[in-house]
Amino acid sequence: MFSKKLVTIFCLIIVALINVTFLSISTKHCYGNTIVDRVVIAGIAPFQEAVTQAIRFCERIWSHYFCLVNVREESDQLKKALAAARLERGQGLESKLAHERLRKLLDMKAAIPKPLLPAQVVGVDPSGWFKTVIVNRGSYDGVSKGMPVIAPQGIVGQIMTASYHYSKVLLIIDRSSAIDALVQRTRSRGIVEGEIEESCRFKYVLRKADISIGDTVISSGLDGVFPKGFRVGCVEKISKGRSGIFQKVKVRPFVDFTRLEEALVILE
């Protein structure tokens, strides 16, 4: 009729009651050492020890649980504080870098006696057919097709298309771009054109022209687009064939177009 589990629990309860009864009887003889006392102690002690161990185990589990909960909450708070500190540090660093770039643009604007319009790069041409960028200045700001675009490092390109608020800039590394330029050291002339790679070639440089690797190439001002004296790039490679009147010159632009964020449009 009764399950084995219920019988076991019932027996434990009976044993506990018997031990408690004998314990209460023995307490009337505080200093006794009778057989009943010894039987009571022998019977009740293991039960009390088990109960005590169980209570201590529960206390440890309970205290450790709350300890872990507190540690976890503290860890979550520290993680949030660390994330906020990193975000604030990143924003501060970005503000500092932007301030430095704007300061260079302002210094350049003050040094050039021409009307300059600061512009921010907001996009690139995803097609891959042209190497262009989009700036947040357009015809509303006085920008029109053909205007040159520069940066503190050097020439960026020229306005290819201008809408009301945005313009597309053709970079000097595009194959359809051309700048009349000269070597700053020797005044040797040529045409800087874009290549497939992120570089330019200095064409029509006479074979006898004095030119060396590391020379600075600047705009000559003779193409009617870029004013004279703006930096284009540095000579990176020179190749002279066995025949021909020109030498092959590779020019690395001073402007890193992969990191270009701001530029200046010359409004002339």
> What confidence tens digit (pLDDT) does each residue in 215-247 have?
999 999 999 899 899 999 999 999 987 778 999
Please state the rounded mean pLDDT for residues 73-85.
Answer: 73
Determine the pLDDT at residue 183. Answer: 94
Handedness of CA 82, 88, 92, 98 (dihedral sign): positive
Torsion of the alpha carbons at 175, 223, 261 and 231, rounded to the nearest 10: 100
With cut-offs at 50, 70 and 90, classify the pLDDT of residue 76. confident
Kindly report the pTM of this predicted structure. 0.62
Please state the rounded mean pLDDT for residues 172-182.
Answer: 93
Distances (CA, A) of 238 to 56, 200, 215, 218, 256: 85, 12, 11, 17, 21
Report which of residues 77 and 124 the model is more confident about: 124
Determine the pLDDT at residue 48. Answer: 60
Residue 26 in this model has a pLDDT that exceeds 90:
no
Please state the rounded mean pLDDT for residues 97-113.
Answer: 66
